Amino acid sequence: MEISVLQELRYAYRPKLPASLSQDIAGIGVEYGEPTESISDHEALRGLFKHTYGKPIVTFNRGRNPGIGHKLKAGVILSGGQAPGGHNVIAGLFDGLKKGNPESVLYGFLGGPSGLIGNKAVEITASMMDGYRNTGGFDMIGSGRTKIETPEQFASSLETATKLGLSAVVIIGGDDSNTNAALLAEYFLDRGSPIQVIGCPKTIDGDLKNELIEISFGFDTAVKTYSELIGNIERDANSAKKYWHFIKLMGRSASHIALECALQTRPNICLISEEVEAKKLSLKQIVDSLCDSIARRAANKENFGVVLIPEGLVEFIPEMKTLIEELNDIMAANEGEFAKVEKESFREIVAWLARKLSGPSESLFLSLPEEIAKQLLADRDPHGNVQVSRIETEKLLIGMVEKELEKRAAAGSYRGKFSALGHFFGYEGRCAFPSNFDADYCYSLGFSAFVLTAAGLTGYLSSVRNLSAPAEQWIAGGVPLTMMMNMEHRHGSQKPVIRKALVDLEGEPFKVFAQNRDAWALTTGYRYPGAIQYFGPPEIADITTATLRLEHR
């Protein structure tokens, strides 16, 4: 396979490590802190995780780790959606194992957690690893969204790990995947198995974070990729001066991506889902606010602009959330009846729903553009629920803004011109060449996972902190997975889960955004970040996100 010059140069890049991990490997010690507690629901979680609850935070420093030179066998899993840097986590784990003992072995489970359940694995060799260093994607071993949740799946996972003689299983994933890692660690211990389970924090959405996990890997690269594209569109908008661009961005559960891209590019408008929910803004209020900004810019002869929209916005709008919940319940309770009606015309489907929806939800549903209403009914997951991520929110807002501006024009309160284009930036950022930051961070996470394994620890998430400082000053260690958990209502019962981190409306990144957005709305002061830089001075090539810098300044 022919490779590009950049790909060849990225293969040769040597990721930077924290000082605690870059010293002679025999001199890496483990410092233990005080016992920890979960976020909430202490008694319930203590009961569910009898063997792994309350473990201490660990930090790596100079010292001795007797297990560091043992021959180990580890298995690694890529779980969930792709995120830039996943291959470097595997590289850090692989190099750590081989430095500790050249006879150590690393297996890659194919296709995600299902590879562990079904015993589909490949040994990762040096030549195989060298073909994926510092590259994007998860194509080295593939990923998957299978959850290990049934007794049979847990038993099969233990059987596979035992047959391969594994010392540890390393799961690279987001909050759900690492909740699975915690349950698997507990299961292994409960069955008397010494096989360890270690997690690594992955998600471009940025919602797996806390005071000890400052950022999930992939977020840095993804937002820089999206910000380059947004900057390009901003420059085009300011050149053509005739289009409003509505850009939907990844981030169903939280608006970290939208907020970071706003800080980097200074769009005219950026909606933050968490603020919409906190202020209980209706869809009409959001549309009116958009129209107000569009009208003010039109008064300045600027009939163009850029709007950023989080992917999960509709679930944070109170009446939309209620509508979606009602639709889910109606479909579940009337599955057979709906299957028959679904074959009829859309008008008859609407009439059938109107008899079952509450008054406010019926009015809202009828007010939606027909294309969006059809998406609410057609795109459903295996459980019959609305797949919110597939709703074209950008088109929904464009359609409603057009109608409202037409009313204002008829009333004489709007004299501008409105032409809009919709975009969705999602997959473009998930497999990009990782930034230097993500390449370094991911390699450090993988190497830390090895040290946790060598120390005989289980039920931990690999952690690297102090990330706004140069890499040599980063602090590596591990965080007990149960420390980040609470109980939540899922699928009809209380389940232990790692809590998602939403945008903090009292946090510094949102405050800086809020202080500037009124000026950005009225003036054309776009910022153009440009492409990710891999070469050059650290202040350009190794720069972190605005969010991380603001949170730790």
The tokens of 185 are what?
């660690």
Q: How far apart are CA 551 and CA 468, in angstroms?
A: 9
Q: Are 168 and 178 in contact (CB under 8 A)?
A: no
**Secondary structure class of 453 (helix, strand, coil):** helix
Is 542 an annotated catalytic residue? no
Secondary structure letter of residue 535 according to DSSP: S
User: Exposed, middle or buried, 456 (CB in 10 Å: 0-12/13-18/19+)?
Assistant: middle
Q: Tell me the sheet residues that pair with 479.
A: 461
Q: Are strands 269-270 and 420-425 parallel, antiparallel or unpaired?
A: unpaired
For the beta carbon of residue 372, count every other beta carbon within 10 angstroms.
Answer: 18
Residue entry with tokens 């980097």: 264
**Secondary structure class of 59 (helix, strand, coil):** strand
Q: Are 496 and 271 in contact (CB under 8 A)?
A: no
Catalytic residue among 95, 175, 205, 438: 205
**Secondary structure class of 435 (helix, strand, coil):** coil
User: Exposed, middle or buried, 82 (CB in 10 Å: 0-12/13-18/19+)?
Assistant: buried
Q: DSSP characters for 210-222?
A: -SS----BTHHHH
The residues, any chain, with a CB within 8 Å of residue 350's CB and separated by 6 or more, are 365, 366, 373
CA distances from 457 to 189, 300, 454, 541 (A): 12, 62, 8, 35
What is the set of active-site residues?
A: 205
